Amino acid sequence: MKILFIASEIAPFAKTGGLADVAGSLPRALVKKGLHVSLVMPRYRGVARDAEVVDRFDIQLGETSYQAEILKTVLPKTSIPVYLIARDEFFDRAGIYNENGVDYSDNLERFAFFSRAALELINRGLVEADLIHANDWQSALAPVYIRAASAQEPKLARLKSLFTIHNLAYQGSFPTDDFLKTGLDWSYFKLNGMEFYDRVNLMKGGILFSDYVSTVSPTYAEEIQTHEFGCGLDGVLRQRYDRLVGVLNGVDYSDWSPDSDTNLPVQYTIDTVETDKIECKRALLKAFNLPEGDLSKPLFGVVSRLASQKGLDLLAEAIPRLISRGARFAVLGTGEPELEEKYNTLDQIYRAECGVRLEYDNRLAHMVQAGCDLFLMPSRYEPCGLTQMYALRYGSLPIVRNTGGLADTIKDVNTFPDGNGFVFYDASSVALQEACIRALTLYQNQHVWWSIVKRAMKLDFSWEASAHEYIKLYMNVLSA
């Protein structure tokens, strides 16, 4: 089976979110199971400057022709080919999708060019593929272009397509006049096509014109078919319920495991976690300018975008009361300006109990996972989430809201005999506080606490199981 994996970002080449992690990890697991996988992404500024040029060709979109330069490299530590679509006019920029919080005005043109050029790799014989696996709105046009393939493009016409939604909230919505830049016939801009409230909606196109649709957890696949989580496309998704599948993302334990993590002051295993994790806690307190004090006081960790979607406004409200109950906090992330200001204020008021770093630092992210006792993910919605799965491996019990992939990975210790964290349901500061207080109470019983920690560390959310599910899904796509 031969797959062309199309993604706008692939770790470690370029990353803004979880899509890059999936695109950098899932192909490795698929290749280990015998599949032939090629990857394609835009060539952004600074990406793989030593990659070799393998082809140049023109892409016609409407009345405009654009030259694409194709470079080839490999996914680090593998032989998996990665093709880079280069056009400096579109991709040699300071940002990937935006700058200073403002989206690039030509994003539809940029990613229409990328999607069409990615398929041209197959047309020109650079890549052999039985199906394409497109991801999120940036490559959502690829299944549409396959459906629109002409008789002169037999290699495209026979392709099957899978379209994966990583976050339905980001849909690629553009003014009607921009539809001309796709190069598609106006027959594709209609109610049962890419038209959505008199705008072009690329996500809708990917959903309707792909052979199958997947998303990143079973619960999220159910949620996005509801009005609450469907972001306006719930009706479209319900139309495709029989071709909609949720596959939980996996974790790359070669990067995220405390027994081999070089970012930590002390590496540890299940056998040494009770003694060695305390050294990671000491280092984390120092990194966040918190006094060491009593190391037995519970430390809550956060690594997140500071956004209301992530429930970080709920946590900001809860922190003062939880500090009065003996909790301390280490918060790492950037995001919405008003939330950054709130957390900066908390850092100033509670200097001995709440350390805040308004940045993203990979080494610190690893240190938070290892050094905290409890890891917070109070998301209003969370398609999958990876950091709660990292936390389990590091023996930091997660506190999560029951939504999306959080619901698929975390079981409440007060409800299930095999519980591995703390779960709350209402998207409110009060519900979050109650879950945290339950955690603080259980933390006092160290014998029970460490037994739960060790049980959590044994859980396996590696890409092995997810790859197996994707292979089954690919077989369904090919037989569709």
The domain that contains 31 carries what CATH number?
3.40.50.2000
The pLDDT value recorded for residue 480 is: 85
Q: How many domains does the chain have?
A: 2
Q: Which amino acid is at 445?
A: N
The SS3 call for residue 406 is: helix
Is pLDDT at 293 greater than 90 in this prediction?
A: no
Which residue has 């992330």 as its token pair? 333
81 and 161 in a single domain? The answer is: yes
Is residue 348 a part of any domain in this protein? yes
> Is 206:200 a contact under the CB 8 Å cutoff?
no
375 and 245 in a single domain? The answer is: no
Is residue 263 a part of any domain in this protein? no
Q: What is the pTM of this model?
A: 0.94
Please state the length of the chain: 480
Confidence of residue 101 (pLDDT cuts 50, 70, 90): confident
What tens digit of pLDDT does each residue of 15-74 get? 988 899 999 999 999 999 999 999 999 999 999 988 999 999 999 998 899 999 999 999
Which residues are CB-contacts of 301 (< 8 A; sequence separation ≥ 6)? 284, 329, 330, 331, 332, 368, 369, 371, 372, 374, 375, 376, 391, 396
204 and 227 in a single domain? The answer is: yes
In the 3-class helix/strand/coil scheme, how is 82-127 assigned residue by residue?
Answer: EEEEECHHHHCCCCCCEECCEECCCHHHHHHHHHHHHHHHHHCCCC
The pLDDT value recorded for residue 294 is: 85
Is residue 430 a part of any domain in this protein? yes
283 and 245 in a single domain? The answer is: no
396 and 413 in a single domain? The answer is: yes
What tens digit of pLDDT does each residue of 387-443 get? 999 999 999 999 999 999 999 999 999 999 999 999 999 999 999 999 999 999 999
Is residue 352 a part of any domain in this protein? yes
The pLDDT value recorded for residue 150 is: 82
Is residue 255 a part of any domain in this protein? no
> Per the structure block, which two tokens stand in for 129?
């593929």
Is residue 280 a part of any domain in this protein? yes
75 and 145 in a single domain? The answer is: yes
The pLDDT mean for the chain works out to 96
Reference 136, options 216, 209, 206, 84; nearest CA is 206
φ/ψ of 326, rounded to 5, equals: 100, 10
Confidence of residue 360 (pLDDT cuts 50, 70, 90): confident
Instruction: Tell whether omega for the bond before 12 is within 30 degrees of 0, i.e. cis.
Output: yes
More confident position, 294 or 202: 202
Is pLDDT at 202 greater than 80 in this prediction?
A: yes
Q: How far apart, in Å, are the Cα atoms of 419 and each of 325, 398, 452?
A: 24, 11, 8
245 and 293 in a single domain? The answer is: no
**Could you list the residue range(s) of the whole structural domain that residue 335 is in?**
273-460
470 and 446 in a single domain? The answer is: no
